């Protein structure tokens, strides 16, 4: 099934609300998915229990918790939402449901290779189309038996022997930085650690790798980067303890964009002063498109352009392709043309996001063209209501909601796809609009 042939789910459309007045709202976001799932893996590999405070509770984090439990880890979700993780020996045969979570399908197999039992990985139909060859090939280069029936994709079985020698590994992570992070997260448990080298056309989403390195360092793991696109993790223990999860700054994107579309202001409390999250880039990007942004003790506050005119943008988003749907949605209603490049890897995300965004923007009367590694979007005076398909992709759903603030009649095919990272998105969205000046 490709983006062009995707069939909408029945009876789940959600009429995106139109903003009838400027917004004045404070939106408290759930924890970062990227940090939550990295810390869950490290907690399961640690030498002592870990308490994670304010983690995300979503489909992706539940899939990760279920995967780690299946491998034998004890995980308790406390009444206040915090999560206590107690490591256990990795010795259980297991079947792992990856759903559509890239972090599960790419972070857990290296950990499963440390098990002394067979571990089967599978997921949603769309997950079986996501690139997995780099994970499978890298594990084989480390001496791990992986049975994929020749498909280089889900489903596959990791047949661990209880240990991994480690050493030097070369991969091509051009399709996703998750291939790098997946190996680095487990590498301290390899007998010789790992020296991992990327050789490929480009390396997307470097901030996500920096996030992984930061998480490892905070756990007492010795890790360094001897040269560009080479990472070394020394063997050793992984500390437990207590770790707070930052708010998800990528999920802030739609709410920040709302202030630009509807006018008024939105405040995101708890915005960190310093972070490895790529969503922090929204600050500078949205200012280029006409927003005013202030950081103070309230958090981050964005105010939309006084005249309501959103400026188009020309930008390389290779640093964080996940920001593309928000920027593309704003570009569809901007006053001047936009060009986004450096995001060819988005064709291997939950869906082919470049094809999906171009298709849906054009469906509602916009003007969007795919390029080799991005999108070109021109202003249009013919935007109109229509079904906005989501392709089982949470960021496609939120992109449609952004446009729907200004264009009446945008029906989001399946708003429940947002449960991947933000289970109550629709409630937060309506609450934001309810807090008007």
Q: What angle do CA 9, 355, 210 make, to 5 degrees?
A: 100
Q: What's residue 435's pLDDT?
A: 53
φ/ψ of residue 341, rounded to 5: -140, 175
Question: Considering only CA atoms, which of 232, 166, 164 is closest in space to residue 198?
Answer: 232
Q: Residue 191, exposed/middle/buried by CB under 10 A (0-12, 13-18, 19+)?
A: exposed
pLDDT in tens, the chain (437 residues): 233 333 344 447 999 999 999 999 999 999 999 999 999 999 999 999 999 999 999 999 999 999 999 999 999 999 999 999 999 999 999 999 999 999 999 999 999 999 999 999 999 998 999 889 999 999 999 999 999 999 999 999 999 999 999 999 999 999 899 999 999 999 999 999 999 999 988 888 888 999 999 999 999 999 999 999 999 999 999 999 999 999 999 999 999 999 999 999 999 999 999 999 999 999 999 999 999 999 999 999 999 999 999 999 999 999 889 999 999 999 999 999 999 999 998 998 778 999 999 999 999 999 999 999 999 999 999 999 999 999 999 999 999 999 999 999 999 999 999 998 898 999 999 999 995 43
Q: What is the DSSP letter of 309?
A: P
Q: What angle do CA 354, 350, 133 make, to 5 degrees?
A: 100
d(CA 56, CA 394): 15
φ/ψ of residue 189, rounded to 5: -90, -5
Lookup: tokens for 142: 């480390």
Strand order across the 74-77 sheet: 74-77, 83-86, 50-53, 241-244
d(CA 235, CA 188): 4
Three-state SS at 378: strand
Q: CB of 366 within 8 A of CB of 329?
A: no
Q: What's residue 436's pLDDT?
A: 42
Q: What's residue 189's pLDDT?
A: 98
Q: What is the pTM of this model?
A: 0.88
Residue 413 catalytic? no
Q: Measured between alpha carbons, how far is residue 106 from residues 138, 177, 323, 431 in Å?
A: 11, 10, 21, 35
d(CA 430, CA 436): 11
Three-state SS at 339: strand
Q: Which of 39, 246, 281, 322 is catalytic?
A: 322
Q: Measured between alpha carbons, how far is residue 92 from residues 109, 119, 327, 388 in Å?
A: 14, 8, 44, 43
Question: Considering only CA atoms, which of 206, 207, 204 is closest in space to residue 344?
Answer: 204
């Amino acid at each position: 099934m490709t983006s062009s042939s995707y069939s909408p789910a029945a009876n789940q459309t959600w009429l995106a609300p139109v903003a009838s007045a400027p917004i004045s709202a404070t939106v408290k976001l759930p924890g970062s998915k990227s940090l939550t799932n990295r810390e869950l893996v490290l907690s399961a590999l640690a030498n002592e229990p870990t308490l994670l405070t304010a983690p995300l509770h979503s489909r992706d984090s539940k899939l990760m918790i279920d995967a780690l439990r299946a491998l034998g880890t004890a995980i308790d979700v406390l009444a206040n939402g915090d999560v206590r993780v107690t490591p256990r020996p990795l010795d259980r045969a297991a079947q792992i449901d990856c759903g559509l979570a890239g972090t599960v399908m790419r972070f857990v197999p290296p950990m499963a290779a440390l098990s002394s039992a067979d571990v089967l990985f599978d997921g949603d139909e769309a997950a079986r189309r996501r690139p997995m060859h780099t994970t499978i090939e890298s594990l084989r280069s480390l001496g791990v038996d992986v049975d994929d029936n020749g498909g280089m994709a889900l489903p596959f079985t990791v047949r661990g022997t209880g240990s991994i020698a480690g050493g030097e590994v070369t991969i091509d992570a051009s399709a996703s930085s998750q291939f790098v992070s997946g190996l680095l997260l487990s590498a301290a448990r390899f007998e010789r650690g790992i020296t991992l080298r990327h050789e490929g056309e480009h390396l997307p989403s470097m901030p996500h790798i920096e996030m992984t390195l930061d998480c490892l360092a905070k756990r007492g793991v010795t890790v360094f980067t001897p040269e560009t696109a080479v990472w070394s993790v020394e063997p050793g223990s992984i500390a437990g303890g207590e770790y707070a999860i930052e708010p998800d700054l990528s999920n802030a994107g739609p709410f920040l964009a709302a202030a630009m579309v509807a006018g008024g202001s939105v405040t995101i409390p708890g915005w960190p002063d310093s972070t490895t999250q790529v969503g922090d880039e929204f600050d500078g990007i949205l200012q280029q498109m006409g927003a005013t942004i202030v950081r103070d003790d309230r958090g981050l506050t964005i105010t939309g352009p006084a005249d309501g005119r959103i400026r188009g943008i020309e930008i390389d988003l290779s640093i964080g392709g996940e920001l593309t749907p928000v920027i593309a949605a704003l570009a569809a209603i901007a006053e001047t043309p936009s060009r986004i490049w450096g995001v060819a890897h988005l064709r291997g995300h939950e869906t082919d996001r470049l094809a999906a965004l171009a298709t849906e923007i054009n469906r509602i009367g916009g003007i969007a063209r795919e390029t080799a590694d991005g999108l070109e979007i021109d202003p249009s005076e013919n935007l109109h209501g229509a079904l906005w398909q989501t392709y089982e992709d949470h960021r496609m759903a939120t992109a449609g909601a952004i446009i729907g603030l200004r264009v009446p009649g945008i029906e989001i095919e399946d708003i429940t796809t947002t449960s991947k990272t933000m289970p109550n998105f629709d409630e937060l969205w309506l609450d934001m609009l309810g807090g008007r000046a």
